[in-house]
């Protein structure tokens, strides 16, 4: 008789652990496969919730890249006093060009400035009405690459101290505004990511909760025959991980699709500004981080819900 | 140690305040088979629930398989329950899983190797005469067969103690007798069996010691078959 058979040896914990996780892995996948539409919808909702902050992140990063490339074409304009001669101006430009922190300094004489203005502004005829050339000589200073904002600022202060200089101007206010906006956007991405991360946990938690309610009797039976919490909990945690994984992959796909769709229009826009700038999507490591975030959120959403609900379900 | 179960002046009161068991003391020896009888609401199920650590005694001591249940920590309850075989009136099977998976569940919980589980499950199904039904879903089986699946699940781990709560309540007489004989057979190979029932005819067919409860107390009275109730009433027995 079966009952008289000798007791069995349990495999070691590693073998038990591996076997149990493999079992739950296939069990949870099978469960998803039995209700593919419901699972796909849940993953889609999670995917959209994750794609929003990821998309914003990509947008902000692209904008700051563009801003940074503009900063490199930044110039300090030194308007010289009228009393400064052409020779002195050229010599001054050479002097400044040799200073540290300066990439290039070009002297633009009053005549050159006038000719340029006549050519580019479209007000050439109006200038003919003036007796004198109203434009001062200018030295255009390009700061060296990789200078910080503070360094550029101190260079500006230094140059404006020179006796020949009437006015030194760094037209960077708009750039500072852009950076301020970008910094707000970066914080906003963080906050939105936090909120939508919570939303993902709630979505997954709610899905798992419905699943738990549907399987309440099964859970009771399992507890009756001595299943520990970890055993009952495991399939639900796997479900959460699958939802998170699916959602993360979908979010990656959505962001990739959006960047692909925006690629041609951006290239066109950049071409209008004589730039070869191309929009940058999520890198491999960004994408993997997105998927990992999905998995972590899925797991923790499931864990919080299951732990909370299982304590309430006791066999009658 | 010969007492597998010992109740020492045990009382149980529902959280609402109603007394279910009052001052109940008894012992079941290792290898014994006994019935708990009594009218509905007498506390039969509560006795089994207390033994299985599904609820805790309000007063008194319960020792099961050497474990004092009043000192059993909640996180050790699952491990304790794994040492019991439980059989229920409503079978408590998982209806979306095959017979094999149902019976295998206690072994899966313990983490036995696949090959061993297969062997054990088939042995247990063989013991209850359901060897050919491994791949079937429980709902396609008759009530008697479903209960035998439940019994196979209870014995698959070879527990030292089987608790059965009205195991024949949903079965026809023939099936019920077969199930009760099955418990007697397990008992013959050394398993301690405690059955809560009010099926007097079955007790008469498979006679064992009787613990009779009335209104939460153990009495010397014995349960009566329906056919004898009238007679007893005229003698002032009840």
Show which of A171, A187, A217 is a domain's final residue: A171
One domain, residues A183 and A161: no
Q: What percent of chain B shows pLDDT beyond 90?
A: 56
Contact B105 A222 (CB under 8 A): yes
B71 or A84, which is more confident: B71
Across B69-95, average pLDDT? 91
One domain, residues A181 and A268: yes
Instruction: Output the pLDDT for position A279.
Output: 84
Model confidence pLDDT, tens digit, residues A199-231: 889 988 998 999 899 889 889 999 999 999 999
A93 or B162, which is more confident: B162
**pLDDT higher than threshold 60 for residue B208:** yes
Which residue of chain B comes nearest to A17, CA vs CA?
B111
DSSP summary character for residue A8: P
Contact residues on chain B for A15, CB-CB shorter than 8 A: 113
Instruction: Output the pLDDT for position A2.
Output: 37
Residue A13 within any structural domain of the chain: no
Question: Does any CB of chain A come closer than 8 Å to the CB of residue B72?
Answer: no
The mean predicted confidence, pLDDT, of chain A is 84
Do B165 and B198 touch, CB atoms closer than 8 A? no
B1 or B141, which is more confident: B141
Contact B114 A16 (CB under 8 A): no
Residue A15 within any structural domain of the chain: no
Instruction: Output the pLDDT for position A142.
Output: 82
CATH number of the domain at A98, please: 3.30.70.3040
Model confidence pLDDT, tens digit, residues B36-55: 998 888 889 999 999 999 98
Residue A7 within any structural domain of the chain: no
Across A103-126, average pLDDT? 79
One domain, residues A142 and A113: yes
One domain, residues A266 and A146: no
Residues 17-56 in A contacting B (C-alpha not used; CB under 8 Å): 17, 19-20, 23
Residue A12 within any structural domain of the chain: no
Question: Does any CB of chain A come closer than 8 Å to the CB of residue B142?
Answer: no
Q: Which of A89-103, A193-207, A227-241, B198-212 is predicted with the least confidence, judged by mean pLDDT?
A: A89-103
**pLDDT higher than threshold 60 for residue A1:** no
A171 or A270, which is more confident: A270
Which of A221, A227, A231 comes nearest B92 by C-beta? A221
Contact A225 B158 (CB under 8 A): no
Q: Which of A185-194, A225-234, A292-301 is predicted with the least confidence, judged by mean pLDDT?
A: A185-194
Contact A226 B78 (CB under 8 A): yes
The mean predicted confidence, pLDDT, of chain B is 89
Q: Which of A107-111, A129-133, B225-229, B231-235 is predicted with the least confidence, judged by mean pLDDT?
A: B231-235
Which residue of chain B comes nearest to A21, CA vs CA?
B111
What's the number of domains chain A is made of? 2
Residue A83 within any structural domain of the chain: yes
Q: Which of A14-23, A140-149, B120-129, B223-232 is predicted with the least confidence, judged by mean pLDDT?
A: B223-232
Q: Which of A284, A208, A233 is nearest to A46 (CA)?
A: A208
Residues 101-120 in B contacting A (C-alpha not used; CB under 8 Å): 105-106, 108-114, 116, 120
Residue A9 within any structural domain of the chain: no
Which residue of chain B comes nearest to A218, CA vs CA?
B94
Model confidence pLDDT, tens digit, residues A23-70: 899 988 988 888 899 889 989 999 998 999 899 888 888 887 776 666
Q: Quickly state the pLDDT bin for B9 (edges 50, 70, 90).
A: very high
CA–CA dist A202, A244 (Å, integer): 12
One domain, residues A204 and A57: yes
Pairing of strands B59-64, B67-68: antiparallel
Contact A2 B127 (CB under 8 A): yes
Instruction: Output the pLDDT for position A70.
Output: 64
Exposed/middle/buried for residue B46 (C-beta within 10 Å: 0-12, 13-18, 19+): buried
Q: Which of A175-179, B77-81, B197-201 is predicted with the least confidence, judged by mean pLDDT?
A: A175-179
Question: Does any CB of chain B come closer than 8 Å to the CB of residue A218?
Answer: yes
Contact residues on chain B for A30, CB-CB shorter than 8 A: none
Instruction: Output the pLDDT for position A162.
Output: 85
- Residue whose entry in the numeric block shows the structure tokens 């819900």: A305
Contact A225 B94 (CB under 8 A): no
Residues ≥6 apart with Cβ < 8 Å to B137: B95, B96, B97, B98, B99
Question: Does any CB of chain B come closer than 8 Å to the CB of residue A146?
Answer: no
Residue A299 within any structural domain of the chain: yes
Interface pTM (ipTM) of the complex? 0.85
Contact A5 B116 (CB under 8 A): no
One domain, residues A303 and A194: yes
One domain, residues A60 and A138: no
One domain, residues A199 and A290: yes
Which of B83, B120, B191 comes nearest A8 by C-beta? B120
Residue A136 within any structural domain of the chain: yes
Please give the residue range of the domain that contains residue A298: 20-69+177-312
Show which of A155, A171, A187 is a domain's final residue: A171
Which of A19, A226, A314 comes nearest B109 by C-beta? A226
One domain, residues A26 and A117: no
Across B99-128, average pLDDT? 91
Instruction: Output the pLDDT for position B232.
Output: 62
Across A234-261, average pLDDT? 94
Written in H, E and C, the secondary structure of A226-240 is CCCHHHHHHHHHHHH
Do A207 and A40 touch, CB atoms closer than 8 A? no
**pLDDT higher than threshold 90 for residue B110:** no
Show which of A171, A204, A220 is a domain's final residue: A171
One domain, residues A91 and A182: no
Instruction: Output the pLDDT for position A35.
Output: 85
Instruction: Output the pLDDT for position A6.
Output: 44
CATH 3.40.50.300 for domain B1-75+195-238: yes
Q: Quickly state the pLDDT bin for A3 (edges 50, 70, 90).
A: very low
| Nearest-CA distance B229 → chain A (Å) | 32
Q: Quickly state the pLDDT bin for A5 (edges 50, 70, 90).
A: very low
Which of B80, B110, B124 comes nearest A10 by C-beta? B110
One domain, residues A123 and A251: no
One domain, residues A98 and A243: no
């Amino acid at each position: 008789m079966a009952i008289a058979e000798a007791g069995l040896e349990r495999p070691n914990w590693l073998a038990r652990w591996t076997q149990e996780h493999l079992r739950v892995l296939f069990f949870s996948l099978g469960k998803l496969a039995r209700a593919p539409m419901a699972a796909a919808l849940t993953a889609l909702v999670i995917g959209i919730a994750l794609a929003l902050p990821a998309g914003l992140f990509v947008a902000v990063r692209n904008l700051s890249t563009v801003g940074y490339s503009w900063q490199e074409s930044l110039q300090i304009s030194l308007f010289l006093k009228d009393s400064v001669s052409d020779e002195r101006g050229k010599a001054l430009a050479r002097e400044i060009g040799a200073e540290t922190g300066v990439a290039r300094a070009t002297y633009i004489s009053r005549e050159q400035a006038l000719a340029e203005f006549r050519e580019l502004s479209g007000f050439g005829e109006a200038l003919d009405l003036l007796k004198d050339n109203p434009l001062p000589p200018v030295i255009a200073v390009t700061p060296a690459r990789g200078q910080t904002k503070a360094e550029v600022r101190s260079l500006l202060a230094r140059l404006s101290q020179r006796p020949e200089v009437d006015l030194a101007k760094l037209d960077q206010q708009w750039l500072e505004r852009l950076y301020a906006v970008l910094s707000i956007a970066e914080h906003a991405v963080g906050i939105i990511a936090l909120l939508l991360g919570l939303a993902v946990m709630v979505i997954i938690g709610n899905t798992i909760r419905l699943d738990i309610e549907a399987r309440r009797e099964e859970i009771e039976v399992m507890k009756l025959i001595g299943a520990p919490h970890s055993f009952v909990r495991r399939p639900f945690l796997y479900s959460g991980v699958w939802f998170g994984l699916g959602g993360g992959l979908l979010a990656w796909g959505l962001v990739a699709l959006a960047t692909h769709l925006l690629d041609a229009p951006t290239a066109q826009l950049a071409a209008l500004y004589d730039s070869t700038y191309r929009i940058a999507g999520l890198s491999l490591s960004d994408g993997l981080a997105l998927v990992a975030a999905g998995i972590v959120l899925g797991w923790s959403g499931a864990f919080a819900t299951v732990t909370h609900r299982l304590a309430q379900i006791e066999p009658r | 140690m010969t007492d597998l179960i010992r109740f020492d002046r045990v009382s149980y009161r529902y959280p609402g305040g109603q007394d279910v068991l009052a001052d109940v003391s008894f012992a079941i020896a290792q290898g014994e088979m006994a019935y708990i009888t009594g009218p509905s609401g007498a506390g039969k199920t509560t006795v089994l629930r207390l033994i299985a650590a599904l609820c805790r005694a309000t007063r008194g001591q319960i020792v099961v398989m050497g474990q004092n249940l009043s000192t059993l920590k909640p996180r050790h309850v699952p491990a304790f329950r794994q040492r019991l075989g439980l059989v229920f009136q409503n079978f408590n099977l998982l209806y979306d899983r095959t017979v094999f998976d149902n019976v295998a569940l206690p072994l899966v919980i313990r983490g036995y190797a696949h090959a061993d589980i297969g062997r054990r499950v088939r042995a247990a199904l063989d013991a209850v005469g359901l060897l050919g039904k491994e791949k079937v879903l429980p709902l396609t089986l008759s009530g008697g067969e479903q209960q035998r699946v439940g019994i196979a699940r209870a014995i698959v781990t070879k527990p030292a103690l089987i608790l059965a709560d009205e195991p024949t309540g949903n079965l026809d007489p023939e099936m019920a007798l077969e199930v009760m004989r099955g418990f007697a057979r397990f008992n013959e190979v050394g398993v301690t069996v405690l059955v809560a029932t009010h099926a007097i005819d079955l007790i008469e067919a498979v006679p064992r010691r009787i613990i009779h409860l009335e209104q939460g107390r153990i009495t010397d009275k014995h349960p009566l078959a329906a056919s004898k109730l009238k007679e007893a009433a005229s003698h002032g027995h009840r």
